[in-house]
Amino acid sequence: MTNVKVGKYVKTHGIKGEIKILSDFKYKERAFQKDNHILIGNKEFIINSYRPQQEYSLITLKGIENINDILPLKGNYVYINRDSLKLNALEYLDSDLINMKVFSNNEFKGLVSDIVKINAKKKLLVVNSKYVPFELIKKVSVHEKKIEIEEVIGLL
């Protein structure tokens, strides 16, 4: 059972316990589905409802009907069990890219050591201490643990 970070509880919305989660998680529509179990801090909750609002995900939780019941957990990260996402063989999480082999024109370029975000939106792979924009990814093979990127002379 592996928990995956899907966002951060940053605000409340109204007085009935609805919360705002800041999330750029790729599969947040799956993560925040009704009846999914999530963790906020070390407490487990069941999602009652979900709706997107700008960059936020607004959710209500079963058993929480008052802002005071959830306010103490504000600032905590929100996690979900990876199995709840029901990823197929072609789908992956950003964290799955760590330690994958990177190739360009069938030439090995290195391993992904990290994924960083710049300006909270732009994602970059870190390969050989150099940054590779996600936009250059042509293909990801989860099974082979391999990433094919477009050739950019002088990048790697």
Residue 143 lies in a domain: yes
- Report the CATH number that the domain containing residue 55 is assigned in CATH: 2.40.30.60
The pLDDT tens digits for 107-116 are 999 999 998 8
CA atoms within 13 A on the CB side of 13: 17
Here the tokens at position 34 are 């009704």
Do 96 and 26 meet the contact criterion of CB atoms below 8 Å apart? no
Please indicate, yes or no, whether residues 101 and 145 belong to a single structural domain of this protein: yes
Please provide the size of the chain in residues. 156
- Provide the β-strand partners of residue 70: none
Q: pTM of the prediction?
A: 0.82
Owning domain of residue 100: 94-149
The pLDDT tens digits for 119-137 are 766 677 888 888 899 899 9
The number of domains in the chain is 2
Residues 9, 23: Cα–Cα separation, whole Å: 9
Residue 15 lies in a domain: yes
The pLDDT tens digits for 25-40 are 989 999 999 999 999 9
Please indicate, yes or no, whether residues 12 and 69 belong to a single structural domain of this protein: yes
CA distances from residue 59 to 24, 72, 129 in whole angstroms, order as listed: 15, 16, 38
Final residue belonging to a domain, choices 37, 62, 85: 85
